[in-house]
Structures are given as structure tokens and as C-alpha cells.
Amino acid sequence: MSYIKKPYIYSILTIILVAIILFIFVKKNPAVRNLDEFLKNINKSSRISLIDYIVPELHDDAFLTLLMDENIIKDHKILESQKYEHNVKIKVSLTTEYGSVPVWFILSKISNRWLITQFPKIANIEAAVPLAAKEKSNNYIEYQMDVAGTHLYCVFPSQKSSINIGMPLSLVLIEDYILLYEHMIPLHLNRVMSASPSHIEDSHIGYIPIESSLNIYEIYNNKPVYSKSSILPVGIMDVTLYYPPSSKNKILIGYVNPNRMPNNIIRVVLNNTDFQSLVHQEVRLSSSHGLNIKNIVDDMEFNMEKDQEIVFMNDGENGIQLYSNGNLIASSSNRWYISPRNGGNIILNSIIRAQTQGLSGTPYRGNIEISSNGNGLTIINEVDLEEYLYSVVPSEMPIKFGLESLKVQAVAARAYAVRSLKSKGFASLGAHVDDSTASQMYNNIQEHPIAIQAVDQTRGLVPLYEGEIIDARFFSTSCGYTANFHETWSIEDVFPSTEIPYLSAQPQFEGDAASLYNEENFRAFINQKNLESYDQFSPFFRWSFTMTREQIEAVLNQNIAALQQNQPAFVLTRDNEGAFSQQPIPENLGKLQNITPIKRGQGGNVMELEITTTSGVYRVIKELNIRRLLKPVNLIPGEKPIQILRHDNSIVTDFPILPSSFFYIDIIRDNRGEVSQVIFTGGGYGHGVGMSQYGAYGLSLLGKSYLEIIEHFYPGTKLENLY
């Protein structure tokens, strides 16, 4: 006969005693009993039966939504109860497959029944990146997670953890504890060809739909750093996307290495001949060297002989159709890549530019790509950055300005182009810029040796401010003073916006002027027709024109509603209390009673314009809105075009936009006091911020080098080489 040792008897008795006490504690405490029943049934009852234990406000709580029917809670144990006046706070240990988690519930007595009024805080995090792990003394690991740029800390049992640092995952947290996690599946991209909030296009995979917003992390020193951008930069290589096992299209995270973004090529989306559309119904092209045509996704390749024309046609059902000699040879909805054989240019026969001489179309360096955008075809010209500038420089600045001025233009255009490599503006089409004034004019003027020399002699040079490539704004002509960036452009509907030190208002002549914020001072300044400004050789250095009241009213009625639709925060109407707010614009503004600038910038540019008509008082804000509103165009049939008299006594008619926002207004009234005519007197052409092209020319005539001119227009910057 064997005997049980006394220590074991004591242990058994203690366990039995605790169980009895806990049983009595649960049975005698109705709040604890209700919570105990709720947790026993959470994995096997319907939602309808479970909501009998909770207040209505919690029927859709994440605790139920995420845990019910998932069998996450394997067991539970009531640990303690704290009674308050109207409620009970109960601590419970929830057991999952990974370990036990201590949490608190709150119950309140409502209509003689104890109901749960507060669950433990629970969160479903779709996408997180583990950044670091640290062992805790209680056999837990504390993880630092990045969730869209916000860091959170959560714990997990060390003996159960297989979380990999840097490997994106999804999480379910209760309080600070990880209940569930699931690593995402990686998808490698060769090269991003286009991107938008709804798709990514890879050079080898093709189009990938995106169901959720994409969180982008840039890799620095092998560590992921959250990026504010939500669209992958076009052209970047070796990207890794991550998606949950449940859905390949639900891509949540993208890993990019900024060093894999080429800085020596640029992708240009091409307009049609008259710059009216980026959509083409057919594309005809050829090359004197022959063509190589590839469709990488569909594994097709063709070679064409020299001068043989091929045609791409848009077909909604079959995608992009390829014809040669009138015969259909292939079709695909995926991107086509066309390159010249043995060098040479590709001639786009369906686009005619001013530079075309003796050719049936326009020659392009680099390669051409054709893709479908739903409504038609998109043409992309991928070209070496420096060769791109060969055409931009003479398209943006007259070659007669000379080498030093053209060097300044080359540096500014290069900076603009490089900054555009990460721009989202044309990313959905697969480009960084277009070939119009919306970006920089490209391939509109034939290449010229002196422009090529200017590019080559500044190869790779870009201006930097505090280590970043600057926003090298430029424009045609100043009125003798430039404008501040923050008094010209808004940032996220904030105006005036953030000051940029190197884009500041400054005189474009020796000396300075009295404060141009002041209306009288500005008038006196503009009236100096013979001011020895660096821009004095521009026809637009000074200008004036007159419009009748009826002509002004026609222009206002045509433009103001469209402006408000595009820029609702900056086209406002005065209400009955005298405050300005966004209100519907009437179809007819009525009779013009007054029009006046009410706020100027440091350089004298009009920041706010007020228009009074018989229908109300309207305020138009920002330089471009004002210039688009006051187009000097006659819209009344049978009347003569509006004539702008320029500084050199030349005249231009029906100009498509007000030349600049540097102007003042004189109103001529009839003997009844009604507006008869409005006279506009101003100076300059363009937005007025940064480098004035005619100013650069004027400075070069004074013997200034391109380095000195850049320092003048972008003070505090320094040049560095991209390569």
C-alpha cells in the first residue's frame, strides 16, 4: 500500500478550495455570472443570443465583429471583480492559441439585469510593418510596428512568436496584445510602367488592380520608412508589393528603394498635333533605321524595315491593334514598346510639330510606347534626360538669347524634370511630364547646336537648397519685380501658402522700389515705361488694353462658374452678413458695377480681385484664377478683337489669358455713373515666380555668367551634379 505525501495533499486541497471559492464567487455575483456565460458562448452562439448580454451601443462593436465565430478565444478565467456605485469592473484572462491575455470588461445594471457596457479595446490592423523587437521580463516580446507612419507597440508570447522584422503583416490586437497575425505574400515587380490609386502596371506582369489604398515604404539602410506618397513612382525598378493570402488584388503595402529610380531618363506623354488631347485614336510611326516592336507581357516581337510605316489603332474590345501594310498582325490590351533599330529617331507621322521640316511627321529620340487608356491610345516617349533637354531648352527659350541664358534654362528645366520623376500628375498614364506648357514645352522647336551646347556644358547640374533639388519655377517676363511663391500658389487650399526662401519677390533692376503692396506705389511703378529693368527687351514688359462693360461681362459670365467648379475655395460670394463663402454662381452675373484689386503681393501681383455686379459681390483669389477670369478676348459677335498694346508698340489680339497678375484697373463711367469701359495697365508675362527668361537674357547682356544668373533668381542655392 502506497501513501500520498502530505505536500501533494496540501496542493490538491488548495486547488479544490480555489475552485470552490471561484465557483461560489461566480454564482453569487450576477455580473460575473453574466460575463462568464457570454464568454462561454462567444464561439458557439448566434449574434442574436449574444447581444442579450450587452447594451445596444455595443451590438456592432469590433469585439464581436472580429472574435465571434473565429474561435480565437479558447478559454477564459475570471480573475477579479471591482464593484463601483453603478457598475462592475471585471478582470478576465482570455486564452488564445498563443497564450493568455489579461483584459477588463465593464458591466452595468440596467433594468435589473447586468449588461456589458464596455469591451476591451480591439483593433483590426490590415497592414503593419514590424520594425524592431525587444524581450520583456514576463516571457513576452514587445514589437514596434509602423502603421502608415504611426508607431505602435504591442506584445506577444516569446515562445510562440515567428514574426519577422521587416515582413509586412496584418494584426488583430486586444488592448496591447497580439491576438492574431498573418504575414503577407510578396509580389515582385520588374518595373512600374504606370500607377494610380486603382492600378499598378508592371513591365512583365501587366495591369494589377488595387482594391485598397496602398501604403508605400521606402527602404533606407535596409529599413522601411513610411512615405506620404500613395502612388508608386513611374519607372522605378525592383518593387515588392505585399497582399494578404485572402486576396491577391488587395495590395496593401509596397516596398521601394529610392536608389532604384533612374535619374537619367524621363517619360513624356505626348499631346496630339494641336495640343488639345493626350488621347489618340490612331498612331502612325516609322524610322529610317527600321523598328523593333515588343509586347513583353504577351511575349510578341516584330521587326520592321526602314521607312516602313506601322499603325496602332484603338479597339475597345480587342485592345490595341497593330497594322502593317494595311494588314492586322497583332492585338493586345497590354503595352507595346517600339525602339529604332541601329539607333536613329522614330518618326511619329500622326503628330506634326513646328519643327517638322521635310518629314511626314515629327522625329523623337529614345523609345516610344503605346498603351490603351480606355478612350483611346496613349503615346509615351521615354528618352534620356539630357537628350530631352536638347529639345526643351529651345522650345522654352529663344536661341537668340545666347549661350549663358540657355545654360540657365537648361539647369532650371533639368531641375523641373528631375523633381517630376516622383510626381503623381501623369503617373496613371505612365509618364512623368507631358510635352506642353502644363509641364515643359518639348519637341516643339527643332534642336539647335547652341541649345545642345548649353545642355552639354551644364550636364547633370541641378540647384539644391538645404540638400533638396529646388522647385525651379520660371516664366517669360517680369514687370521689373518678381513675386513670392506663397503669394502666388496655394498648397492644399491654403493661401497664402508656405514661404519658399529661394522663390522670393525681388527687383529686376538696380535698386529697389517703394512698397508694391500699396496701390499708388504699384501704379507709379508700372507707369515707368523706361525703367532699366533686365526684362525691358520683352514686348510684354509693359502692356495695356481696354474692354467695354459688355465685353467684360461676357468674359466674366463665361469663366467664373467654371473657375469655381475647379477651384471652389478661391471663388467666393459675399453673403448678407458681409462674409465671403462658396455659393452657387448665377447663370447671369448681371450688370458690372465695379472691379478692383483688393490685395497685392510684395511684388505687386494681384492676389485677390473683387467684382461687384447687380447680382452680388464676388471675390476671385490667386494669380492663375484671376488671369483665366479676365481673358482679353471679345466674345460679342460682330465686334473687333481685343487689342493688347505692348511695350514695343506691337499689338496682339484676343489673347487667351491675361498676360500677368501685375496690373491695375481704371474704370471709365458714363454720365449716369455706370461702367462704360475698363482699362487694364500692366507688365510682365507669366506667373512671375522664380527665373524670368527675359530677365536672364538681360543679365547675360550685362556680362553675368549663368552661375551668377542662377544665384540671382534662386538665392541661397548651390549647384550639384546628378551623375
- List, for residues 74-129, the tens digit of each pLDDT value: 899 999 999 988 899 999 999 988 888 999 999 999 988 999 999 999 999 999 99
φ/ψ of 326, rounded to 5, equals: 80, 0
pLDDT in tens, 429-446: 999 999 998 899 999 888
Q: What is the CATH number of the domain that holds 73?
A: 3.10.450.50
CA 556 to chain centre: 31
DSSP helix/strand/coil, 404: helix
663 closest CA partner among 651, 678, 641, 648: 678
Q: pLDDT tens digits for 595-647?
A: 999 999 999 999 999 999 999 999 999 999 999 999 999 999 999 999 999 99
For residue 289, what is its C-alpha cell? 533605321
Same domain as 422, residue 286: yes
Residues paired with 592 in a beta bridge? 613
From residue 205, how far is each of 199, 298, 318, 462, 476 by CA, in Å?
A: 12, 9, 19, 35, 44
Spatial CA neighbour of 460 closest among 722, 219, 657 = 722
CA dihedral 229, 234, 239, 242 (to 10 degrees): 50
143 with 196, same domain? no
Residues 302 and 282 in one domain: yes
Q: pLDDT per residue over 657-706, tens digit each?
A: 999 999 999 999 999 999 999 999 999 999 999 999 999 999 999 999 99
Domain shared by 330 and 425, yes or no: yes
Is 399 found in the same domain as 297?
Answer: yes
Residue 618 belongs to some domain of the structure: no
Asked if 174 and 193 sit in the same domain, the reply is no
Q: Give the pLDDT confidence score for residue 8 in this predicted structure.
A: 59
Q: State the cell numbers at 380.
A: 509615351
End position of a domain, from candidates 465, 495, 520: 465
579 in a domain, yes or no?
Answer: no
pLDDT(356) > 90: no
Cα–Cα distance, 198 to 211 (Å, whole number):
7
pLDDT at 2: 46
Domain count across the chain? 4
Whether 84 and 23 share a structural domain: yes
Based on its alpha-carbon atoms, the radius of gyration of the chain, rounded to whole angstroms, reads 35
Bridge partner residues of 130 (DSSP): 145
Please classify residue 358 by burial: count the beta carbons closer than 10 Å to its beta carbon, then call 0-12 exposed, 13-18 middle and 19+ buried.
Answer: exposed
Is a pLDDT exceeding 50 seen at residue 574?
Answer: yes
Q: What's the pLDDT at 1?
A: 45
Q: Which of 183, 200, 235 is the last residue in one of the domains?
A: 183
Domain finish residue from 165, 183, 201: 183
pLDDT in tens, 498-515: 999 999 999 999 999 999
In which domain, by residue range, is 101 found? 16-118
The pLDDT value recorded for residue 353 is: 84
Residue 232, pLDDT score? 93
Closest CA to 500 of 535, 472, 534: 472
- As beta bridge partners, residue 722 has none
Selected residue with higher pLDDT from 12 and 337: 337
Report d(CA 570, CA 640) in Å as an integer.
Answer: 32
CB 646 within 8 A of CB 652: yes
pLDDT band for 246, please (50, 70, 90 cuts).
confident
Residue 640 lies in a domain: no
Q: Is the pLDDT of residue 21 over 60?
A: no
- pLDDT the model gives residue 344: 85
pLDDT for the residue 335: 96
Establish if 57 belongs to a structural domain.
yes
**In a shared domain, residues 108 and 33:** yes
Look at residue 24 in the predicted model and tell me its pLDDT.
Answer: 47
Does residue 81 lie within any of the structural domains? yes
Task: Tell me, yes or no, whether 529 lies in a domain.
Answer: no
Across the chain, how many H-helices and E-strands are there?
12, 44
Residues 271 and 367 placed together within one structural domain of the fold: yes
Overall pTM > 0.75: yes
Element holding 403 (H helix, E strand): helix 403-420
Same domain membership, residue 419 and residue 328:
yes
Q: Are strands 300-304 and 346-348 parallel, antiparallel or unpaired?
A: unpaired
pLDDT at 357: 64
The answer to whether residues 137 and 127 touch, using CB atoms and an 8 Å cutoff, is: no
My answer on whether 241 and 313 are in the same domain is: no
Question: Is 361 inside any structural domain?
Answer: yes
Res. 7 pLDDT band, cuts 50 70 90? low
